[in-house]
Amino acid sequence: MTISLRTILSYYWRHIKNYPIVGILLFISYISAGIIANTLSPLIYKNIIDIISLGEIRQEMVQDVFFWVWILGGAIIAYNILYRLGDYVSILFESNILRDLANDAFERLHRHSYFFFTNNFSGSLVSKSKRFVWSFSSIFNNVLWHIILRFVELLGAIIVLFLNVPLIAWMYVLWIIVFIGISLWFARIKMPYDTKEANMDSQVTGRQADTITNALTIKMFGSRGGEQVSFQEITQLQEKTRRSAWLMRNYQVALQGFLFIILEFGAMYFVAQLWSEGRATVGTVVLVQIYIFGTFNAVWGFGRALMDIEKSLADAKEMVEIFETDISVKDPISPEKCLISRGEVLFDTVSFVYEDKGSKVLENFHLHILPGEKIGIMGHSGAGKTTITKILLRFIDIQEGSVRIDNQDIRNITQDDLRRKIAYVPQEPLLFHRSIKENIAYGKPEATDEEIQEVAKRARAHKFIQKLPQGYDTLVGERGVKLSGGERQRIAIARAMLKNAPLLILDEATSSLDSVSEKYIQEALHNLMENRTTIVIAHRLSTIQKMDRILVVENGKIIEEGDHTTLMDANGVYALFWNQQVGGFIRE
């Protein structure tokens, strides 16, 4: 994907323009301070030195010197007041925009669909997001300090030189044009190097995050050495990419240094020549010397700024590519008001194909679930069971047909409105690295402690929670790693119980429970199902034995349906599965 400079900057500009008064005040303060320090002050020193260099001391000369000294004192005071004001406004301006950018990146990132996150490393996404936000800080400070303020400084110096020594002024103008031209040329050819460096940094971060997430698997397989070698191969590529980018930067610095030599020697040679001819005063010589040092700082900062800005743009580009990537599951432009209340579900001739796989998972699929009905869905892995729940939750969008809840097409309401009406317990529940209380109350943040403990008891989680060091305030670790699989599952079930939703989906929700835990929790699950339309996906057939209706799905089609007794009497696929169960699971 080709991302233009204009596109990248547009994501920053939309936040900058929200603070016009602060931004204008910031630039006025700093520019005024810069003019005083870099343009007016050297002129004041020139006048003082010109008077002092006359050698003789007369009363009127003393008065003139102290006049300029007082002017200098006023300039110093004005400079410090303006500079401090600029610092205060700059902090206010930049801090607010960094916050807005972080919020914007968070919101835009989470607009993407479920499959976007399954196809990207979480660590890499976090890294890209942080670099996008902090790239603004780098770009802003470089543009402000090393481009705008330095441009004002150079412009002031050139104007003063034109008024005093036009020959040196023309030399400055020519030199600055050459310097800026070379810097821009280097910035353009260096951009691909910095983009590759940023990409490699994301790859290294992603690989490292992947190994940390799967640390237990690495230890179980004793594969730390292999992972170390693999990581070293990536960091070796990163080093080569980084070295190429840094060498290119070094070439630019070397050429800029050569140009500085030309400027310093040339300017001092010509001003000395003018002095020897009586066409320049001692103060003028000092003035040119001050401007030479100022020019060094200005153009050196300009060159470094271009390199830093170019690198920051390369860092920001990765996140902007994500912003510009089409969102696969979108909310309607004008969403309808959500009318879901009873939980009647209709899959009407639905067809779906995973685009990356190319094969149809569902074809002309039809399913009608009445309000409050309890449906169990079983079948081999890959039969389409979980796809049905993902479609219902709009994690994915169908290609043909429609899905309606309470006679409302789920594509006509927002995804958030839809999912607020569905309580979902996945096969592998993931918890936030927060307290158990916060995890249970996630679907109902305003829940009281009594409500939280009540659902925990019904989910058979209260006893083990009480035994933890901080009870309900215990942090569960990243993704809930401090808890066992069964404990995480019971927390997830308690969370679903607390959510007041008319539709409940259990996607193999008891798969992580041992037989004793499952026995305790079955009653809680049946209580949870009361007055709710329920869809249960299960390999463990005991989970769905008491459902109102059981569907046997194969190749995206319903091949059998009925309650447990009816299906057993039919002696078909369900009965075969039931009779072949080992430990309560379907044999694959």
- Tens digit of pLDDT for each residue in 225-254? 778 888 888 888 888 888 888 888 787 777
394 assigned to some structural domain? no
% of the chain beyond a pLDDT of 70: 93
- Using the predicted structure, report yes or no on whether residue 542 has a pLDDT greater than 90: no
- Using the predicted structure, report yes or no on whether residue 585 has a pLDDT greater than 50: no
Range of the domain at 314: 5-324
Dihedral sign for Cα atoms in the order 110, 116, 119, 120 = negative
For the chain, how long is the longest CA-to-CA vector?
124
Same domain, 103 and 227: yes
Average pLDDT of the residues of the chain? 83
Residue-wise pLDDT for 19-49, tens only, equals 999 989 998 998 888 888 878 888 887 777 7
Q: Higher pLDDT residue, 168 or 582?
A: 168
How many independent structural domains does the chain possess? 2
Same domain, 312 and 449: no
Same domain, 123 and 254: yes
Residue-wise pLDDT for 260-319, tens only, equals 777 777 777 777 777 777 777 777 777 777 777 777 777 777 767 877 888 888 888 888
Same domain, 49 and 176: yes
Q: What is the pLDDT of residue 251?
A: 79
262 assigned to some structural domain? yes
Q: Helix, strand or coil for residue 445?
A: coil
Across 334-357, b (16+ Cβ under 10 Å) vs e yields: eeeebebebbbbbbeebebbeeee
Q: What is the pLDDT of residue 556?
A: 84
Same domain, 119 and 239: yes
Task: Residue 153: give its domain's CATH number.
Answer: 1.20.1560.10
Q: Give the end of a domain, one of 258, 290, 324.
A: 324
Place of tokens 């009497």: 569
Same domain, 122 and 263: yes
Question: How far is CA 81 from each of CA 33, 73, 86, 89, 148, rounded to the nearest angstrom?
Answer: 8, 12, 9, 12, 20
Q: What is the pLDDT of residue 221?
A: 62
572 assigned to some structural domain? no
Ranking 116-125, 128-137, 496-505 by mean pLDDT, the lowest is 116-125
Q: Helix, strand or coil for residue 298?
A: helix
**One-letter amino acid for residue 504 of the chain:** L
Spatial distance between the Cα atoms of 318 and 195, rounded to a whole number of angstroms: 9
Same domain, 143 and 35: yes
Closest CA to 418 of 330, 539, 519, 482: 330
**One-letter amino acid for residue 103 of the chain:** N
**One-letter amino acid for residue 118 of the chain:** T
Q: How many CB atoms lie within 10 A of CB 10?
A: 12
Spatial distance between the Cα atoms of 170 and 305, rounded to a whole number of angstroms: 25
Per-residue pLDDT, averaged over 357-367, amounts to: 82
406 assigned to some structural domain? no
Per-residue pLDDT, averaged over 8-27, amounts to: 92
The model's pTM is 0.72
Ranking 30-39, 161-170, 219-228 by mean pLDDT, the lowest is 219-228
Per-residue pLDDT, averaged over 385-409, amounts to: 91
313 assigned to some structural domain? yes
50 assigned to some structural domain? yes
- Using the predicted structure, report yes or no on whether residue 588 has a pLDDT greater than 60: no
505 assigned to some structural domain? no
Spatial distance between the Cα atoms of 46 and 73, rounded to a whole number of angstroms: 15
Q: How many CB atoms lie within 10 A of CB 255?
A: 15
Same domain, 280 and 429: no
Q: Give the end of a domain, one of 484, 500, 516.
A: 500
Q: Show the tokens assigned to 571.
A: 């002696």
Same domain, 427 and 318: no
Place of tokens 């779906």: 352
Task: Residue 472: give its domain's CATH number.
Answer: 3.40.50.300
356 assigned to some structural domain? no
Spatial distance between the Cα atoms of 345 and 76, rounded to a whole number of angstroms: 76
Cβ(557)–Cβ(385) under 8 Å? no
Q: Give the end of a domain, one of 474, 500, 526.
A: 500
Strand partners, 435: 475
Say how far residue 114 (Cα) sits from the centre of its chain: 16
